[in-house]
Amino acid sequence: MTPVERLLEKLPNAQQSGNGWSARCPSHEDHRPSLSIAEGNDGRALVKCHAGCSVDAICDAVGLHVAELMAEDAVSSGTIRRRSEIRRVSTAPKTGKTYATAKAAIVTLERKHGDRSAIWTYHDAEGNPVGVIVRWDKPGGKDIRPVARRGNRWIVGGMPEQRPLYRLPELASADRVFIAEGEKAADAARAIGLTATTSAHGSQSPDKSDWSPLAGKECVILPDRDIPGRKYAESVAALLAGLTRPPIIKVVELPGLPDGGDMADWVESRASADMSDLRQQVESLAKEADTFHAGRPETHVERFQPFPTGVLPEPLRGFVIAGSKAIGCDASYLALPMLTALASAIGTTRRIQLKRGWSAPAIIWTAIVGESGTAKTPAFKLVMKTIRERQGKALQRYAESMNDHEVDLACYEKAIAAWKRDKKTDEPPPTKPDPPQAERCIVSDATVEAMAPLLLANPRGLLLARDELSGWIGSFDRYAGGKGGADAAHWLSMHNGESIVVDRKTGTPRTIYVPTAAVSVCGGIQPAILHRALGIEHRESGLAARLLLTCPPRKPKRWTEADIDSETESEIARLFDRLYALQPTVGDDDELQPLVVGLTPDAKAAWKTYFNAHAQEQADLAGDLSAAWSKLEEYAARFALVVHYVRWAAEDPNLDGPDVIDTGSIEAGIDLTNWFKGEARRVYAQLSESGDERNKRELVEWIDRKGGRVTAREVQQGHRRYHSARDAEAALDDVFKAGYGRWENVPTTAKGGRPSRAFRLLGASTVYETIAAPEGNDSCVDVDSVDAPESRYGDDVSEEAEPADRVQVTI
């Protein structure tokens, strides 16, 4: 069976279309076919979801491995060796072969693919080259390979997020910037004298680029004349509108552009015209164009982004994906408590050192936020199953030890009585046997008074896991004073693994000193309860900022026969066993101390880049988000520490070493933190919204789930809040006035009938238009390539690691 036949067997709705097939994408609720399929020259299956679903997600949805899309001879010959080597380049392997220069990496690619057809270079703000896009035009279609800088080395792979804009250094001094789709179109605009840019890696990835350099400018978007071009323009407009200082946004549709045409086609069709005249035409169109109000709405609705399961190492990734399918919940409902539990398993045995005087522990606090009935509890129980079983066995051993202790204690009492009766003995008194200590790894009692003796007996640290976190937050009482205030202060210390002193009203000893109190926290909570629980006192104290949140939009339950196989559960159990086997080191004073692990040079370079970018983001924030960003800064390192030791426990062959954090781990930590930033924006916005704002947000989310385009009648029939089509239309008008979308006319099929109206969200997360059938392999994207057009306008590529070593390349 060929790879294409294997895939088509999983897609019963697939239909022949030109030289390929089209089907409904299994990775999202696809009402109309948005998945294109074709066969590559080497026999591999070429797939592309025009709604933006990744190849990994598509394969996971139909139960295939990405390797099964490859031709058997490619796999057997060793061309494809590991799953990590055949993922999309936009999520390029975190580790692998590196090169001293970009030129060396490109030469290696040319040995395999032949002479390149086009090349483009991306630079950072200082003009240093950070990425190169290389294209080959082949009889079967185009082939794209990116090359990216990693520290002082280069790899064949995509640039890390957030990627710089094309020609970034040129944008700083420009008041007006033209934005095209693809480097070829941007170069065409530059050829007629315009300052132009684009985002890297094709029309599906504008959100992976950093658009902040365009804040406060005038931005003119030049869309391609097709559905993906319109979607790209809407997405870019929404991203620009979301900046702290939104630019003036205009969209200019070039006159006379053919279907599928772009800026490069427009310039080429006017090759005989004077370039300055073409520039004046485009600038006149931009001057006359109305300002595009994708704008930041009255209350900006952040769109939920799927949890980045692709950055999780195996077997964690497989467990999260399989578990979410089996339960029918969002993947984040399993990922967050699992990352927290793994952090607690590492506990105080390890810390990651970022520089002298700054190290971070494996302590993570997470909360899954959702209404009752959103499968929070089943997901939480599934994750906690392994660690609760471990705790049960430990308590059973403790009970057996207590039985032995009682026998020893009875013998001691008998011996001490005999010693007391013997008045002439010179022997010292018998030693009273110490009671056994219960090994604890998970607790549910949230009071510090109850936690202190357990932490003293279990210096590794604990996991506080509660199905309902409201009891934990409620135990703080009032932050302003009293016992609750003291508890809140102790919890702030426990988030950093610091020492605490607890004075108890009862019990012995009355005062407990815990030198290293480390507690990771996870659980679920309903949105309304979270809103009440995280009052002003907990926001001002910084406790709320330490809690990482996920609040995915609600979706209907659907029956599934999917389940987690026993081997996957066994792999997770072995993973925990290895992590709990980690031991601290012994210091010069014979005290137990964590093993402090550092970063490889490339990992340190990646951390510096993230730190500086994150600091710039925080400088533009205030209030709750500024507090959250201050804690998210270090969370990237904490996640990197957890990912590293998960990879170590899973015996990842790509790991640089057991006690040094490599680039793969640090970038995974950064990717996870960037996702939590989006959720922080969403959830904090929800916590502060009014009733009217909440109604708008819920309607926007409902429209998004329906594909981004609805009529008033569909809203009235599908949304319980609106009792008539007139009510629904009024609600859509409110959403329109807030800047979330636009009205469109829908032609009628009835003779003489009047057209109706439909409301379309700007930058909707899912596209449901009918996608043009693939006419050839050029309509599809290879599973390890990204989309980028060619250039006939020339570009310079920095071939060496340093900016001084540049080579002019004319295409």
| Residues in the chain, pLDDT under 50 | 73-95, 294-299, 478-484, 764-811
Is residue 250 in a domain? Answer: yes
Is residue 123 in a domain? Answer: yes
Q: What is the CATH number of the domain that holds 230?
A: 3.40.1360.10
Is residue 15 in a domain? Answer: yes
**Domain shared by 701 and 658, yes or no:** no
**Domain shared by 29 and 73, yes or no:** yes
- Tokens 């003779």 locate to 751
Last residue of a domain, one of 236, 253, 288: 288
Count the domains in the chain: 4
Strands in 462-468's sheet, in edge-to-edge order, are 442-443, 462-468, 519-525, 366-369, 548-550
707 touches 758 (CB < 8 A): no
Is residue 425 in a domain? Answer: no
Q: What is the CATH number of the domain that holds 723?
A: 1.10.10.10
* Residue 176, strand partner residues: 218
Q: What is the CATH number of the domain that holds 680?
A: 3.40.50
Nearest-CA neighbor of 118 among 213, 58, 187, 32?
187
Q: What is the CATH number of the domain that holds 13?
A: 3.90.580
Is residue 407 in a domain? Answer: no
**Domain shared by 171 and 251, yes or no:** yes
677 touches 630 (CB < 8 A): no
**Domain shared by 328 and 208, yes or no:** no
691 touches 630 (CB < 8 A): no
Q: What is the DSSP letter of 178?
A: E
Torsion-angle region of 356 (φ positive above 0: left; ψ -120 to 50: alpha; else: beta): beta
**Domain shared by 522 and 659, yes or no:** yes
**Domain shared by 729 and 665, yes or no:** no
Residue 471: partners with Cβ closer than 8 Å, 6 or more residues away: 446
Joined tokens for residue 15: 């239909």
pLDDT at residue number 61 = 74
pLDDT at residue number 570 = 92
**Cα(711)–Cα(729) distance, rounded to whole angstroms?**
8
pLDDT at residue number 70 = 79
Q: How far is CA 557 from CA 70, 372, 374, 550, 708, in A?
A: 34, 13, 8, 19, 20
Q: Which domain holds residue 231?
A: 102-288
Is residue 300 in a domain? Answer: no
pLDDT at residue number 79 = 41
**Domain shared by 147 and 162, yes or no:** yes
Is residue 409 in a domain? Answer: no
pLDDT at residue number 26 = 78
Joined tokens for residue 336: 């967050």
**Domain shared by 670 and 755, yes or no:** no
**Cα(148)–Cα(156) distance, rounded to whole angstroms?**
6
Is residue 199 in a domain? Answer: yes
Strand, coil or helix: 604: helix
Last residue of a domain, one of 39, 58, 87: 87
Which DSSP string corresponds to 300-324? --PPP----GGGSPTTHHHHHHHHH
pLDDT tens-digit profile of 630-667?
Answer: 999 999 999 999 999 999 999 999 898 889 999 999 99
pTM over 0.85: no
**Domain shared by 503 and 385, yes or no:** yes
**Domain shared by 233 and 373, yes or no:** no
**Cα(792)–Cα(806) distance, rounded to whole angstroms?**
19
Joined tokens for residue 659: 């006690």
**Domain shared by 696 and 675, yes or no:** no
Nearest-CA neighbor of 364 among 575, 583, 635?
635
- Tokens 């238009």 locate to 769
Query: Regarding beta strands 350-355 and 595-599, do their DSSP bridges make them parallel or antiparallel, or are they unpaired?
Result: parallel
Strand, coil or helix: 699: helix
Helices 623-649 and 663-687 sit at what angle, rounded to 10 degrees?
Answer: 140
**Domain shared by 674 and 696, yes or no:** no
pLDDT at residue number 479 = 39
pLDDT tens-digit profile of 144-181?
Answer: 889 999 888 999 888 887 899 999 999 999 999 999 99
Last residue of a domain, one of 631, 657, 687: 687
pLDDT at residue number 323 = 93
pLDDT at residue number 75 = 41
